[in-house]
Amino acid sequence: MANDSRPKLVIAISSTALFDMSESHTIFESEGVEAYADYQRAHEDDVLEPGEAFPLVTKLLRINEKLGGEPRVEVILLSRNSADTGLRVFNSIAHHGLKISRAAFSGGHSPYRYVSAFACHLFLSTHADDVRCALDSGMAAATLLPSHNEPVDSDELRFAFDGDAVLFSDASERIFKERGLSAFTENEQRAAREPLDPGPFKNFLQALHGLQAEFPIGECPIRTALVTARAAPAHERVVRTLRQWNIRIDESLFLGGLSKGDFLHSFGADVFFDDQQIHCTSAREYVAAGHVPHGVANEVANEVANEVANDAATKRGPSKDA
C-alpha cells in the first residue's frame, strides 16, 4: 500500500508515434475514411512496425523492471482511431510485449483532451495540431520528429531539454527577439537572483527528478541535460532557478549560440525537446527531436497552423489517423 504514494511518471503517446502507420494513413488520404476503416479491420492481425517513439517507450517501461513493486512508469495510448479500427494497435502492443493497458480512442477527434484526465506529465505525437492544443491547455507536449540516425543502444534513458520556452517561460527569449542580445544579457544579469517562471516542461522535469530520486546514487537509469543557447553571464539565473525549484539536472551545456546537434550526439540523448524548428533540425541529424511549438518563436507559425487546421477540418472532417 505504501507504494501508492510514491512518485509516478505518466506519458501519453499517439499511435502514430508508437507505430509506423504510414501505409494506412496513405490510404486514408487517398481513399477516405471508409477505405481506411476497411483496411485496418482487414489487417488487424498484421503486426505494426515500431515507430519513432517505440525505443523511448521500451526504455521507459523497462524502468519498472528495475524498480520492482507497483509500476512507477505508465504509458497511455491516445489515438484518433475508433476502438474498432484501433484493435490492430492493441494487437501490435501485445505482440511486442509492451505493458500498455490504458488507452483513449477518440473516433476521429483530437485525443489531446484526455492528457489531463489521465494525469499525464507529457504527450508525444506526430500530429502537430494535437500538440499545440495540449500546450495551449498547459500540458507538456511535443511533435516527435524522426532522427536520421539509429536509436541510442543503451539501457540508460537520456532526456535533453532546451531552456527558454521549454523548461522556463519565454519571457527572457521575448526580450532577445524584440531587443537583441545586449538587452537580453543585461536583463538576465539584473534579474539573476529572480527565478524564471516555469515553462511547459517544468512539471515533466520535476516528475523525472522524483523518479531519479528512487534509485541509489550511481545506479539511476535516467539522465537529464539542459542544452541551451545561453552563455555566461546569463547562466546564473538558470542555475538559481533550478536550485529554487529543488530540481537536479545532471548535465548543463551553455553553448552561446553554437549548433546543438554535435553536443546532443556526445550526450547520447534519446530525445531532445526544443521550441525552435532550426534546433530540432540540427538535433535530428543525431537524435530524435521533440518540437515544442510554444512561445515567441512560434507565435506566427501557430496562428497560421491554426487557420489551416480549421479550414481543413471544415472541408473534410476529422482525421482518423493519429
- Note the pLDDT tens digit of each residue in 226-243: 999 999 999 999 999 999
* 218 in the same domain as 249: yes
* Cβ atoms 6, 72 nearer than 8 A: yes
Q: pLDDT band at residue 1, thresholds of 50, 70 and 90?
A: very low
pLDDT value at residue 313: 47
Query: Quick one: pLDDT band at residue 69, thresholds 50, 70, 90?
Result: confident
Task: Tell me how far apart the alpha carbons of residues 109 and 262 are, in angstroms, rounded to a whole number.
Answer: 39
Which pLDDT value is given to residue 35? Answer: 86
Sign (positive/negative) of CA torsion 129, 319, 119, 280? negative
Q: Chain-wide mean pLDDT for the chain?
A: 88
Please give the residue range of the domain that contains residue 131: 2-143+304-316
Q: How far apart are CA 264 and CA 247, in angstroms?
A: 21
Q: State the Cα–Cα distance between residues 100 and 230, nearest whole angstrom.
A: 39
User: How, if at all, do strands 141-145 and 288-291 pair?
Assistant: antiparallel
Residue 185 CB contacts under 8 Å (≥ 6 apart), including other chains? 233, 234
Determine which one of 129, 130, 162, 164 is catalytic: 162
Q: Is residue 92 part of a domain?
A: yes
Asked if the structure places residue 322 within a domain, the reply is no
Residues 124 and 243 in one domain: no
In 3D, which of 20, 16, 29 has the Cα closest to residue 47?
20
The per-residue pLDDT for range 75-89, each reduced to its tens digit, is 999 998 888 888 999
CA distance 196 to 242: 9
- CA 276, 184, 197, 123: dihedral to nearest 10 degrees? 0
Task: Evaluate whether residue 249 is within a structural domain.
Answer: yes
pLDDT score recorded for residue 302? 61
CB 41 within 8 A of CB 151: no
pLDDT confidence tier of residue 276, bands split at 50, 70 and 90:
very high
Asked whether residue 151 is domain-assigned, the answer is no
**Both 20 and 136 in a single domain?**
yes
Highest mean pLDDT among 65-69, 120-124, 216-220, 278-282: 120-124
Assigned C-alpha cell, 148: 536520421
pLDDT of 311 reads 53
- Is 84 among the catalytic positions? no
Nearest to 143 by CA among 224, 52, 10, 58: 52
| 120 and 175 housed in the same domain | no
Total structural domains in the chain? 2
Q: Which whole-number Å values give the CA distances from 152 to 97, 191, 256, 258, 268, in the listed order?
A: 20, 38, 26, 23, 7
Q: What is the pLDDT of residue 222?
A: 96
Confidence grade of residue 301 (pLDDT, cut at 50, 70, 90): low
Q: What is the pLDDT of residues 4-51, one digit of tens each?
A: 566 789 999 999 999 998 888 788 888 878 888 888 889 999 999 999
HSE-CB for 288 with a 13 A CA cutoff: 25
Model pLDDT, residue 254: 96
CA of 247: how far to CAs of 99, 167, 192, 218, 258, in Å? 29, 11, 18, 17, 26
Rounded mean pLDDT of 197-216? Answer: 95
In a domain, 267, yes or no: yes
Say how far apart CA 85 and CA 185 lie, in whole Å: 53
Whether the per-residue pLDDT at 196 is higher than 70: the answer is yes
Shared domain for 204 and 173, answered yes or no, is: yes
Nearest Cα residue to 211 out of 247, 171, 245: 247
> Which of these ranges, 60-64, 149-153, 260-264, has the smallest mean pLDDT?
149-153
Instruction: Give the model's pLDDT for residue 3.
Output: 45
Residue 316's pLDDT is 44
CATH of the domain at 120: 3.40.50.1000
At residue 314, the pLDDT reads 46
Q: Residue 288: helix, strand or coil by DSSP?
A: strand
Other Cβ atoms less than 10 A from the Cβ of 66: the count is: 15
Q: What is the pLDDT of residues 103-134, one digit of tens each?
A: 999 988 889 999 999 999 999 999 999 999 99
Q: What is the pLDDT of residue 136?
A: 93
- The per-residue pLDDT for range 136-193, each reduced to its tens digit, is 999 999 999 988 777 767 889 999 999 999 999 999 999 998 999 999 999 999 999 9
**Rounded mean pLDDT, 259-273:** 94
Percent of the chain topping pLDDT 70: 90
CA distance 39 to 14: 19
Q: In the sheet that 103-105 helps form, which strands lie side by side, from edge to edge? A: 103-105, 73-79, 9-14, 122-125, 141-145, 288-291, 271-274, 157-161, 222-228, 251-254
Residues 136 and 193 in one domain: no
